[in-house]
Amino acid sequence: MSVPATMRFIDVRKYGKPEVMFVNTCPVPAPKADEVLIRVMAAGVNRPDCFQREGNYPPPPGASTIMGLECAGEVVAIGADVTRFKIGDRVCGLANGGAYAEYCAIPQTQTLRWPTGMDAVTAAAICETFFTVYVNTFTHGRLKPGETFLVHGGTSGIGSAAIMLGREFGATVYATAGAPDKLEACLKLGATAAFSYKTQDWSKEVLAATGKRGVDVVLDLGGGPYLQKNLQCLAMDGRIVCIAFLAGVVVDGVNLGLLAVKRAVVTGSTMRPRTTAQKGEIAQDLEARVWPVLDQGRCWPVINKVFAFEDIAQAHTLMETNTHIGKIVVKIAD
């Protein structure tokens, strides 16, 4: 397949609400020596995309200014140093930017083959979520088989993947969510119990469910207001990993004595600023530990809704309503 000179991509007139996005054209990127050029069939929609659209999540130096952090499609060109893939391979990748387009260049080390049996829409929903969940849960959080794991926002793309992977690798998983249908979805995903952050004191509920022992690892998407309750329901030597701050970044009313008494670790991370080498290490871990699970048809991303490329504003609007369960995907080509 020949590569055209230009492509469609999602542009923004100015930073703001979803309506500022529109389809524009620009040159197709040329892959660097270590990159593959992907003809994008589908792209995942993620919360950081909304932040970038608002002007609050700038791309790192050297990255594409086009939105989009994950995609799936077909390799149509390769850089001089690429050895992992060939033209025609079907792959999914963690982009540094640029996935909201018909073509996207991604470092080969951040690119993985489609798991067995997957289509483009499902494969497009893997990378941003699974890279983030894996490194924060198993590397920073050090979750081990037999431990207990609390996932906040259990029906988000991140939350749903965390529940499934936590259960798959031998942890007992608890989750929080905001609506009855979402609590039910958490249980179907593999959580032992799920608690409403709107109507229940979830910290007390977690303590009761664990016989007052608490949980070993917390994956926190809430931020500031959650920290005190996370500490209250944390087990001795427990770890709290903060990866989003949807309820706020300011911490008030925290009893820091609990950190010492419980020998707790509170940490956090972001994915996009990591180096290509660091992301490549995560990809290797995923390929070794998670891809065999996906190949067997387990822990596949939950797809909530698929939008046409031209309907990207509707996809962002749905993301910001927080009513979805699982991933939102934009289909770009067959």
Q: Which domains does the chain have, with CATH numbers?
A: 6-126+272-331 (3.90.180.10), 130-268 (3.40.50.720)
What are the pLDDT tens digits along the chain (334 aa)? 689 999 999 999 999 999 999 999 999 999 999 999 999 999 999 999 999 999 999 998 999 999 999 999 999 999 999 999 999 999 999 999 999 999 999 999 999 999 999 999 999 999 999 999 999 999 999 999 999 999 999 999 999 999 999 999 999 999 999 999 999 999 999 999 999 999 999 999 999 999 999 999 999 998 888 899 999 999 999 999 999 887 778 878 889 899 999 999 999 999 999 999 999 999 999 999 999 999 999 999 999 999 999 999 999 999 999 999 999 999 999 9
Which residue type does 307 have?
Answer: F
Where are the alpha helices (H) located in 137-275, listed in sequence order? 157-168, 180-189, 202-209, 227-232, 257-261
Length of the chain: 334
Cα of first residue to Cα of last residue in the chain, in angstroms, is: 14
Query: Would you state the pLDDT for residue 225?
Result: 85
326 sits in the region (left: phi over 0; alpha: psi -120 to 50; else beta) called left
DSSP class of residue 287 equals I
Query: Would you state the pLDDT for residue 253?
Result: 80
Question: Nearest to residue 279, comparing CAs of 29, 103, 97?
Answer: 97
Question: Nearest to residue 315, comparing CAs of 100, 65, 133, 106?
Answer: 100
Give how far the C-alpha of residue 301 lies from the chain's centroid of Cα atoms, to the nearest Å.
10
Q: CA-CA distance, 265 to 270, in Å (whole number)?
A: 17
CB 35, CB 79: distance < 8 Å? yes
CB 131, CB 290: distance < 8 Å? no
183-218: b or e for each residue (b if 16 or more CB lie within 10 Å)? bebbeebbbbbbbbbeeeebbebbbebbeeebbbbb
33-55: b or e for each residue (b if 16 or more CB lie within 10 Å)? ebbbbbbbbbbbbbbbbbebbee
Query: Would you state the pLDDT for residue 130?
Result: 98
Residue with tokens 């087990």: 235
Distances (CA, A) of 254 to 220, 225, 232: 16, 9, 10
Q: CA-CA distance, 281 to 275, in Å (whole number)?
A: 10
Question: Nearest to residue 183, comparing CAs of 196, 164, 172?
Answer: 196
Q: CA-CA distance, 262 to 268, in Å (whole number)?
A: 18
Query: Would you state the pLDDT for residue 251?
Result: 79
Q: CA-CA distance, 195 to 205, in Å (whole number)?
A: 7
Q: CA-CA distance, 217 to 150, in Å (whole number)?
A: 6
